[in-house]
Amino acid sequence: MEKVYLFISDIHLGLQDKTQEEAKEKKLIGFLKFAETNCDELFIVGDLFDYWFEYKRVYQKGFYRTLAALKDLSERKIKLHYFIGNHDFLHRDFFEKEFGAIMHHDKLSVELNGKKFFIAHGDGLVSNDTGYNILKWILRNKFFQWLYSLLHPDLGIAIASKTSKSSREYTDKKDYGEVDGLYEAAKKKIDEGFDYVIFGHLHKRIWQNYKQGNYINMGSWLDKPCYGVFKNQKFEIVDL
């Protein structure tokens, strides 16, 4: 019997005002409860939170209902994949220990129900985005992360929040030209034999057929919450 795989991306918990966040988290928790009995594996393709900075013994407060729902999901033995996004400044081992999550710091090539998938958040894959690639290297550098972790959590998390806003503004305002760099990256992977290429990051819902493959970007939950589902040899985007 074929397995069922669900995908979400770019929820950005913590970005909007209190009313919007409460509504968004409620919808997310409803989805996670749905996932408990309607999938075998869940792929979170980056930026679940608008920023995440985790100390050895401290992580940011808020959205405890989401964390509890992820715990419930893990207790149902649903395999959880989490892709590090550009707003995931530092994950240590909390997601792995609490939820049994498989953390993907870059990209994943995997076969699902006989189809080849290439999955990544998408940041750093645009060839004409040198500035961001330099910033990404700095943010992911273990030495710089260690130095940063010496800050008091109140200060460190405040800076992470500010940096997150700057990163989002940079991405929103960046002019990549007429060519969609992620689509170009997706086409290369399809030429290598992948059937589906799944990205996030752009906050734009995109579905492009190319040769024998499909490039899919599910946009973000800031505009239109949705999830992807792959079952019975068919991928579908479902609005929430």
Give the DSSP letter of residue 221. T
Q: What is the pLDDT of residues 94-132, one digit of tens each?
A: 899 999 999 998 899 999 999 999 999 988 776 555 555
Q: Are strands 213-218 and 234-239 parallel, antiparallel or unpaired?
A: unpaired
pLDDT tier, 78 (very low <50, low <70, confident <90, very high otherwise): very high
- The CATH number linked to 216 is 3.60.21.10
Is residue 162 pLDDT above 90, yes or no? no
pLDDT at 179: 45
Q: What is the pLDDT of residues 87-99, one digit of tens each?
A: 666 667 889 999 9
Q: State phi, psi for 50 to the nearest 5 degrees.
A: -70, -25
pLDDT tier, 177 (very low <50, low <70, confident <90, very high otherwise): very low
Residue 115 CA to its chain's centroid (Å): 21
pLDDT tier, 140 (very low <50, low <70, confident <90, very high otherwise): low
CA distance linking residue 126 with residue 12, whole number of Å:
21
Q: State phi, psi for 24 to the nearest 5 degrees.
A: -65, -45
Domain count across the chain? 1
pLDDT at 54: 73
Q: Which two tokens stand for residue 127?
A: 């060839």
With both helix axes pointing from N to C terminus, report the angle between 64-75 and 18-38 in degrees, rounded to the nearest 10: 0
**Taking residues 3-21, what's their average pLDDT?**
94
Q: What is the pLDDT of residues 179-232, one digit of tens each?
A: 468 899 999 999 999 999 999 988 899 999 999 999 999 999 998 999 999 999
Tell me the residue range of the domain where 51 lies: 5-239
Q: State phi, psi for 23 to the nearest 5 degrees.
A: -70, -40
CA distance linking residue 148 with residue 152, whole number of Å:
9
Whether 15 contacts 52, CB under 8 Å: no
Q: HSE on the CB side for 94, CA within 13 Å? A: 16
Is residue 176 pLDDT above 50, yes or no? no
**Taking residues 170-181, what's their average pLDDT?**
52
Cβ partners under 8 Å of residue 117, min gap 6: 108, 109, 110, 111, 194, 195, 196, 197, 198
Is residue 38 pLDDT above 90, yes or no? yes
Q: What is the DSSP string of 92-140?
A: -SHHHHHH--EEESSEEEEEETTEEEEEE--TT--TT-HHHHHHHHHHH
pLDDT tier, 51 (very low <50, low <70, confident <90, very high otherwise): confident
pLDDT tier, 178 (very low <50, low <70, confident <90, very high otherwise): very low
Cβ partners under 8 Å of residue 24, min gap 6: 11, 13, 16, 221, 225
